[in-house]
Amino acid sequence: MEIKAVVDLRGLNPPEPAVRIVEALKDLDKGEGIEAIGDRPFKGILPKLEEAEYKYELKKVGDAYILRIWNEGNAREISGLGDVECAKEIEINENTNVGMLIERYPGALEVLIEYGFTPLKDETLRKTLARTITLKEAKKLGNLPDEKFRELLEKLKKLKR
């Protein structure tokens, strides 16, 4: 099995880890897999993986959980998580995934670009990089000062209204 992606889900609140796993699984071909790293045991998504005929292996390593998921060729798309995501407002804080933020609140893209996250103008980077980082990680990449970051968070929170 070839690991196509490693998804770091530590520090994220449900349903975000499950949603990000499902998103990463969409592009898997036969013989490909992903590895998810979390600080919780992934109990909520395991039945969905079985139902969709994905194979998986779960290990605890120190304080983290490693979930390897792969497609042996007969896996189907996982459904039913979208309702959970839409029903629950996502919390906007330093641990918010940039990709999910932009998907849920399209106006967030313009705000992020305004605060210097110009690589997000590129659609390919939005579809790849944005899904793998949190606002805190983006802050580090963009060298955004703490005060500007707090200002950015407040502006993003206004999008929820």
In this structure, the answer to whether residues 107 and 62 fall within a common structural domain is no
Distance CA 24, CA 2 (A): 14
Return the CATH number at 146.
Answer: 1.10.3910.10
Q: Are 131 and 20 in contact (CB under 8 A)?
A: yes
List phi, psi (to 5°) of 35.
Answer: -125, 125
Residues 46 and 108 in one domain: no
Q: What is the pLDDT of residue 80?
A: 63
> Has residue 81 been placed in a domain?
no
- Expressed as residue numbers, the domain containing 143 is 90-160
Span 34-76, pLDDT tens digits? 999 999 888 888 988 999 999 999 999 999 999 999 999 999 9
How many whole angstroms separate alpha carbon 133 and alpha carbon 141?
10
Is the separation of the CB atoms in 7 and 35 below 8 Å? yes
Verify that 64 and 119 share a domain, yes or no.
Answer: no
Residues 104 and 59 in one domain: no
The number of distinct structural domains making up the chain is 2
Strand order of the sheet with strand 32-38?
Answer: 2-8, 32-38, 64-70, 55-61
Single out the residue of 86, 100, 75 nearest to residue 25, CA to CA. Answer: 75
Backbone angles phi, psi at 139, to 5 degrees: -60, -45
pLDDT at 88 over 60: no
Q: Is residue 8 part of a domain?
A: yes
Task: Kindly state whether residues 106 and 59 are assigned to the same domain.
Answer: no
Contact 31, 73 (CB under 8 A): yes
State the CATH number of the domain containing residue 7: 3.30.110.40
The answer to whether residues 112 and 146 belong to one domain is yes
pLDDT the model gives residue 84: 40
Tens-place pLDDT, residues 102-157: 888 889 999 999 999 998 999 888 877 787 788 999 999 889 999 999 999 999 99
